[in-house]
Amino acid sequence: MDEIKNVSLEMRDYIVSSGAETLNWCMQCGLCTSLCPWRLVPGEVSEAFNIRKMQRLGQLGLEGFEEEEVLFACATCGMCQNNCPRKVEIIDNVRSMRNTTVGAGFLPGHLRPIMGSVHANGNPWSGAQEKRAEWQEGMDVPAFSADTEYLLFVCCTSCYDPRSQKIAKSVIDLLRKAGVSFGVLTAEENCCGETVRKLGDEELFQKLAGSNIKLFQGKGVKKIITTSPHCLFAFKEDYPELGGEFEVVHYSELLGSLLRDGKLTFSGELQKRVAFHDPCYLGRHNQVYDQPRELLQAVPGVELVELSRARGKSLCCAGGGGRIWAEAPVGERFGELRIADAVENKADILVTACPYCIIMLEDACLGLEKQEVLQVMEMSELLTAAG
């Protein structure tokens, strides 16, 4: 006979007090599980992870939610949360359940060097803090000063990953072209901490955020442009709790409003069918859907095609919630469904607006050997190429 598991209301109360205030609102209808992208792929994690069940285990303080394939599976895409009939803050529940184990010193092996680097270097990419600005060499990027309107905050990924650096450079070209007053701080900054918090390391998140808030306030920052929707989320949703109140936009929002005002145009032609992948943290988490589409359609020759799951129903790339550092075998990646969708729609280019999505979608495209028929581009790169 299987061992009987004991209910632990102390554990339940601890999870709730760590930020899962809505855990007990869940009525176990199971809609979250049926909408979760894990239901669309096969494999071990897919078999182990069920968000409804994970929350039930949390409600009862029962063992099982802390197993690695369960606890660290959620990509925090928001699909379940946006549709929950009880308005359960599912991602906060996941974050709190992670905190019960991460706070006690447990981390899966693949996350240890990542979090170790955040502790040591202020970024997850094992790059030395003093090298955070190396990507700017030869570019003459303006430094932020008190009379600059916007701080441009470049995501750690685009500071250290050579592929991703092209995104930061393209965003800078576009801001210059549009005449935006902006500057960077770079070497003094730390990771925004968005993913660190989602992984459950609340203490480290508070350290990173506190240091950034102090830096921004000390430099007189009022407005921030982010290159990544994840930094956008952290600054807009997480930092105000800690006293960091800033006016924050993703670069696509700012360029979109300049386009609408007639202050930005594109003259270069691009005769391509282009599909837009809505990043979860730009779309579902921040409701930015129209501006990227308007920008892409402003490029002469571009034919915009919609994927089968678009806007609020967009399919997650699986890069959020720390999944960007998880190894998923070919055949089990959400991004592969996205690539197949774009190919089926006869898109020449799959465009997105997030450094994490770029990594996940390019990997998926290579895994499926579709790179000959489909190019993956960040929107800033396509707009820069359009001139």
> What CA–CA distance (Å, rounded) separates 172 from 154?
10
Among 18, 46, 55, 99, binds ligand SF4 (CB under 6 A): 55
User: x-or-dash pattern for ligand SF4, window 16-35, by CB under 6 A?
Assistant: ----------xxxxxxx--x
Site string for ligand SF4, 279-318 (x = CB under 6 A): -------------------------------------x--
Residue in the structure block whose two tokens are 């924050």: 248
Backbone φ, ψ for residue 341 (5° rounding): -60, -45
Query: Alpha helix locations (H) across the chain?
Result: 9-17, 31-35, 44-48, 51-60, 68-71, 79-83, 90-102, 112-121, 156-160, 162-177, 194-198, 202-219, 229-233, 251-260, 290-297, 334-344, 355-367, 379-386
DSSP summary character for residue 147: T
Question: What's the burial of 369, exposed, middle or buried (CB within 10 Å: 0-12/13-18/19+)?
Answer: exposed
**Which residue, 142 or 312, has its beta carbon nearer to ligand SF4?**
312
User: How would you classify the pairing of strands 273-276 and 223-226?
Assistant: unpaired
| DSSP, residue by residue, 35-73 | HSGGGGS-SHHHHH--HHHHHHHHHHT-TTTTSHHHHTT
Considering the complex, state which of residue 38 and residue 266 has its C-beta at the smaller distance from ligand SF4.
Answer: 38
Q: Which of residues 63-92 bind ligand SF4 (CB under 6 A)?
A: 74-80, 84-86, 88, 90-91
Binding mask 312-351 toward ligand SF4 (x if CB under 6 A, else -) reads ----x-----------------------------------
Nearer to ligand SF4, 52 or 166 (CB): 52
Q: Whole-angstrom Cα distance, residue 215 to residue 20?
A: 30
- Minimum CB separation of residue 384 from ligand SF4 in Å reads 32
| Least distance (Å) between residue 53 CB and ligand SF4 | 9
DSSP, collapsed to helix, strand or coil, labels residue 377 as strand
Of residues 204-233, those binding ligand SF4 (CB under 6 A)? none
Nearer to ligand SF4, 87 or 214 (CB): 87
Residue 58 vs 127, nearer CB to ligand SF4: 58
Residues 168, 189: Cα–Cα separation, whole Å: 15
d(CA 154, CA 168): 7
**Does residue 200 sit in helix, strand or coil?**
coil
Q: Which of 16, 20, 36, 307 binds ligand SF4 (CB under 6 A)?
A: 36
Q: How far is the CB of 213 from ligand SF4 (least distance, A)?
A: 27
Query: Nearer Cβ to ligand SF4, position 80 or 213?
Result: 80
Binding segment for ligand SF4 (CB under 6 A), chosen from 10-18, 36-44, 289-297, 335-343, is: 36-44
Q: Which is nearer to ligand SF4, 90 or 254 (CB)?
A: 90
Does 357 interact with ligand SF4 (rule: CB under 6 A)? no
Alpha-carbon gap, residue 332 to 2, rounded angstroms:
31
Instruction: Supply the minimum distance, in Å, between the C-beta of residue 342 and ligand SF4.
Output: 21
Closest distance to ligand SF4 from the beta carbon of 126 (Å): 26
- How many residues interact with ligand SF4 (rule CB under 6 A)? 28
Least gap, CB of 292 to ligand SF4 (angstroms): 21
Closest CB to ligand SF4 among 35 and 128? 35
Closest approach, Cβ 318 to ligand SF4, in A, equals 8
What is the DSSP track for 308-347?
A: SS-GGGPPP-S-TTTGGGS---TTS-HHHHHHHHHHHTT-
If the CB atoms of residues 35 and 340 are measured against ligand SF4, the closer one turns out to be 35
Write the single-letter amino acid at 299: V
Half-sphere exposure of residue 170, counting CA atoms within 13 Å on the CB side?
A: 25
> Could you list the residues that contact ligand SF4 (CB under 6 A)?
26-32, 35-38, 51-52, 55, 74-80, 84-86, 88, 90-91, 316
